[in-house]
Amino acid sequence: GAGVSQSPSNKVTEKGKDVELRCDPISGHTALYWYRQSLGQGLEFLIYFQGNSAPDKSGLPSDRFSAERTGGSVSTLTIQRTQQEDSAVYLCASRWTGNNEQFFGPGTRLTVL
């Protein structure tokens, strides 16, 4: 597809379960970002991947959050032992190296019961 895609679009889980959220960036984009959009917190940066460099994990809120990017393309954000405060929309964005514009996906709405 032409844009960033994310799956699932909605995820409802029970407290304490693990979840995986997927992001397919735009083909050829070397930089990939995860953000979280929640009520009261706005849009927060979580993690950033650039090529083969070590990821910038400075925005991850706790060690229950992790992400990987396989083959420089698809990324998976994993949240272990989910808590109710993890409920949010998780957004992925990608960027081509020679451009400062980030293109956002539609997000995954996570609800933790």
Residues in 14-73 that interact with another protein by CB under 8 A: 31, 33, 35, 42-45, 48, 50, 56, 59
- For residue 23, how many C-alpha atoms fall within 13 Å in the half-sphere facing its CB? 33
10/7 Cα distance (integer angstroms): 8
CB nearer another protein, residue 80 or residue 106: 106
| Span of 14-22, 60-68, 80-88, 90-98 interacting with another protein by CB under 8 A | 90-98
End-to-end CA distance of the chain: 33
Query: Least distance in Å: CB of 57 to another protein?
Result: 11
109/37 Cα distance (integer angstroms): 9
Residue 61 carries which side chain, given as an amino acid letter?
P
Return residues touching another protein (CB under 8 A): 3, 31, 33, 35, 42-45, 48, 50, 56, 59, 91, 93, 95, 100-102, 104-107
